[in-house]
Each structure stands twice: as structure tokens, then as C-alpha cells.
Structure 1
């Protein structure tokens, strides 16, 4: 599907890979700004090669984590301009390599700029034209700035960052914390418990990010704290719904079968457990979410495990 609008200065051709709610919302943002937008999915009538022809300027991936590597290889098989900027708006971790999406794209396209787009962006609210903000991050500032210009508008404010892994990890790890937040609300534990959970969740996100090479301050921005607050407090979040329904007594397979779209936090939790064992990272909230997903504990037992951990200072001195 191709969106066209009147010509503007520095008009770009933007290819969106993934025609789900998030990909469509991003396509509309670029189109409203006057750019040519081509929306592609595996069910498209056009081949990917046809969509990418005529020198696309930006290729943005909004597909689920499980499809990232296959689609990247498919893109690699097509003729491409050396100037193409790749943007990833996927939040997840590869279960085989433990790579983030941007690391997967950069591995396949080492000579291209890769930009991460992330933030507190519930697609339904974007589609309703409610105000929102996000971050685009890259080691190449010029590439991030180009993406910033394509998507920025009066209803969608875009910031830049030089920390792509930090921005990506914030948007990825918070999905696990959203499952925990859903459990908290599903058990009706109250405001005090929810505040404590979200605060300690942010501490855990920072700890993971520091070990994996991110900047601490990134997690206090839109892609960290911002996305954490949005996803932990909205019934629109699929990951929140997973936790809420688990607390209501439903089984994980039943929840996932009826959920619209992918709850990336389920896979992310399992990959984070691999990483924590390899890197010796303490991730108590993630661990209890994992045990809950694996039916090793009930929601109440997971809560008790967190509340009865050894006493410690709030911050390591």
C-alpha cells in the first residue's frame, strides 16, 4: 500500500515493514507530514523488492521480534541504495542471539545507519491523534535527525539520543515490568504496592542497561521511565493484560490465544533470564515474572517472594 501527499521540501520515501497497528500509526504520521509512504507486510500484494525499488530513503521495521531476522535477510536480498537509513520500532530480544532488533539490523547492514524509535506510544492513542512523544536514537546523529524530521508534528514530538541500545532496552525491558504491573492491579494490591513496584522496576531496568552498555540517564527519559509509566498503567497494553489476566486465574496459553497482537514481554522475559545468568545480573522482578509465566508460582507466591527478599539498602553505596 502506498500513501502519497503533496510535495514538500526534503520529501522522503519511507517504507514501513509491518502493517499492524503500530506500523500503520507510524505510516500515517509520516504521510501527514507529506512524505511518500509504502506499507508492506507478508500479506501484501506487492513483493518487498517492488516496494523497495526507486531508492527508498528510510526503511522502518515495525514487525514483531520473531520476524525481525527473517525480514532483515529478505531485505538484504533486494537491491538497495547505500544511503538508506534503517529504523527499528520493534521492542524485544532475539531468543537465539539475545540481540536487540537494532543489533540484528546492524549485523546484516554494517555499512548503513540504524536508528531506534521508542517511547510511550500506545498505537490506539496515536491513531486517535492524541499528543505523544518519542525518542529516535543512533550513533549517527545526522541519521537520527533525518528520522526526527520525518515523524515530528504538532501531535507527535520526537527527540534525538546518542544511546540506541539504552533507548531500545528501555522500551524492551519495560514490557516485562508491565506484566508485573498487570498482576499487581489484577490482585488489587493498591496504590502503594503499584508505586513501589514501578519504582523498583526502573531500578532493575537501569541495572540491566548498565551491564549491557547503556547510559543510565537514558532510562529516566521517554523510552525508559516514560514508556514504563504508560505501559504499566494502561489496559491498552498487551503486556499489562497478560499480567492482569494471569492474576485473574487464566492460563498463559489461553491469554495469548485471545490477545490481539503480540505481547513481547513474554519472550523478552525468557531472554532476560538467559542474559542474567550469563552476566550475573540480579533481576528479582523479572525472575518472578518468569516463574509465573512458567507456572512455577502463583501470582500470590510471586508477590511473597518479592516482599520477603533479604533486607538491603535502597541504593548500593
Structure 2
């Protein structure tokens, strides 16, 4: 049984480490905070990021990232996108051809405008596989039925990873478009903030359905421009992830939007949230990327205006509805 290192002990990283450990793999999880590593090791829980979930006795944690990868053949990234570069720089020139790297993060890095796998490939000089799909960590940790996809270049390794991650409650599909999977996973968080605003303003079910549909168009427009396969966006890492994140208060991004819609400031929201809502910083990255690639992303643009420019959520909704009339498909 291969050793697996999960880098990042937030809710998703802890959930994946628990799932793999329950399957019988030797799993070690790297945590930035000492109190989190101690809780995993001595109490078999992560009260900070995944409270009330009992973790397997076999799962161990460390604060030393080099210790985490010492025996590992498989390395799973679950670090928030804006911190990947700093964390994984410690592993530069530390991996060999036998290591297989999987990224489970979602977002676009500010300034470089790179996806998680692009950042990792730059640092580690290795091809990276992407695990993505409609997943709330808590529901996976509770072993509720979930379907995701693993994507990457080499089919042999995709099939191996498909077997490693699959369980009776965690069904894994595979495909060869990691870029599309990452674009879907990044943009949907921004659209989810818009969906939260929509519901907070009590704009109704019609409005939310329209928002999700037009949000999918923004994902597809960006993906096509960047060279992804359009078919990917009708799958689990596209439409599936978008629908989940836009329709539940279990989503941190939806919750941020809802609170913004109810009149709270971004500063107030940030101070009270322990987990990371990736859509907040991704909206800034996507605004830069859409300008660079000359793509219209009106929902993303309004979310950016609300978060970073203090625009009224009500005015943002009005401005979306009163844009110049256009054909639906172009």
C-alpha cells in the first residue's frame, strides 16, 4: 500500500486524508498550525476546520512538510490557492520521477493568474493531476454519496488515481482536461458569491436560475479562450460544482455573498470566517484575466465591484439586468 501525503489540513484536506486513511493507505497530513496537528494526532479530530468528525486512528499529522513527504509516493495538494506557492516552495527539487501529485484546490493565483496545477508544475517540475467536482467536505466526511472527477494527461495514472480515491460513497470519474476542471472550480466560487447576494436580496428563484445559467456561460467563455474542452463544463467539475456551490449555505462563497447582500462589509465577514472563501480573491484574479484575454464576464465584474469597490449589491443586480441587449449564444 503506497504512502500518501496530504498537504493542507483545512476541511477538504482533512476529509481527503480521512477517506484515504480509512481505505487502508498510510496517510500523513501536513498542517500549518501546531494545534491542528496535535488534535489530529492525540484526539483524532480537527476541531478547527472539521469539528465533530472522528478521524481514523491510523491518520497522523505533522507540521514538518519535509517529514510529510519522506515516504510518500502520492502527494495531494489541499492548500488554499493563494498560499500554494509559499507552501510548496519548500518541496522544490525534493521530488523524483516516481512521485505523483494531485491538486484538490480551486482558484486562480493573483498576479500570475495561474491555476493551482500550473503553480505546482512550475515549482515541482512535474505534471499534476486535478481532483475536482461538487463536494462539500462535511458531507464527504459524513460518507454521504458524492461524485467527482480526476483529470490529467496520462490515462494510466488517471486510472490508478481513480482506484485510489474511489470508495462506496465517493465515486470518481476520469477525463483528460485538467485545465477545464480547474477553470470550472475557480469561476464557480465567484458565481456562488453572486448567488448568495441574489438570495439575500430576495430576487427569487427565476433570478437565481438565470444567474447560474449565465454564470456557466462565463465559465465556458473563459475556458474556451484558454484552450479547455467545452464538454468539460457540462460535467461534474463544471455544471455540477457550479450548481452545488450556488444553492447551499454550506458553501462559504455563497455565505459571503448572502452576508454582503444583507449589508455586511467584506471586512466584517472576513474577520468572522475561519475557512477560506476562495471566490473573494479569485474575483480579483478573474477580473485581471478577463481584461488580459479580452473576455466579457459581467457577473464576475459585478462581484468584484461589490467586494473591492464597495458597490451596492442592489445596484450591481440592477446593472446586470440593464446591460445592452444581446443574443443568448455568441
TM range (shorter): over 0.9
Once the two structures are superposed, the pairs formed by residues 173-184 of structure 1 within 5 Å of their partners are 173-184=187-198
- Specify the alignment match of 1:66 in structure 2: 82
CA–CA separation in structure 1 for the residues paired with 2:225 and 2:78: 27
1:124-143 matches, cutoff 5 A: 124-143=138-157
Deviation at 1:219, TM superposition (A): 0.6
Query: Corresponding residue for 2:27?
Result: 37
Rounded to whole Å, the distance in 1 between the matches of 2:78 and 2:171 is 19
CA–CA distance in structure 2, aligned partners of residues 256 and 266 of structure 1? 10
Aligned to 1:121: 135
Q: What does residue 4 of structure 1 align with?
A: none
193-202 vs 141-150, which deviates more? 141-150
Indicate how the Cα distance of structure 1 residues 284 and 250 shifts in structure 2: closer, same or farther if over 3 A, else same: same
Match of 1:144 among 113, 135, 158: 158
Where does residue 89 of structure 1 map in the other structure?
104
Structure 2 unaligned spans of 5+:
38-61
Residue 309 of structure 1 pairs with residue 295 of structure 2 = no
1:52 and 2:95 aligned? no
Unmatched segments (≥5 aa) in structure 1: 1-10
Q: Deviations over 1:3-49 (max 9, x none)?
A: xxxxxxxx221100011110011011111221111111223555222
Kept after mapping to 1: 8 A contact 2:91/2:124 = no
Give the CA deviation at 1:96.
2.1
Q: Provide closer, same or farther for how the CA distance between residues 288 and 50 of structure 1 changes in structure 2, counting only shifts above 3 A.
A: same
User: Which residue does 1:187 correspond to in 2?
Assistant: 201
Q: Which runs of 4+ in 1 moved over 6 A?
A: none
1:77: how far off? 5.2
Of the three residues 259, 266, 269, the one matched with 2:273 is 259
* Matched positions, count: 303
- Superposed CA deviations along residues 159-190 of structure 1, whole A, max 9, x for unmatched, are 11100000011011100000000001101111
Q: Would you say 1:220 and 2:220 are equivalent positions?
A: no
Question: Is the 8 Å Cα contact of residues 12 and 137 (structure 2) preserved in structure 1?
Answer: yes
* Secondary structure, aligned partner of 1:207: helix
Match 2:15 to one of 25, 48, 70? 25
- Cα deviation for residue 62 of structure 1 reads 0.3
Residues 144 and 169 of structure 2 are in contact (CA less than 8 Å); yes or no, is this contact kept in structure 1?
A: yes
| 2:219 paired residue number | 205
Identify the match of residue 160 of structure 1 among 174, 178, 197.
174
TM-score calculated relative to the size of structure 2: 0.89
For residues 300 and 109 of structure 2, what CA distance do their matches in structure 1 show? 17
CA distance in 1, matches of 2:30, 2:93: 16
Q: TM-score of the superposition, structure 1-length normalised?
A: 0.93
Cα deviations across residues 134-181 of structure 1 (Å, max 9, x unaligned)? Answer: 111101222222211111011000011100000011011100000000
Residue correspondence of structure 1 range 262-301 to structure 2 within 5 A: 262-301=276-315
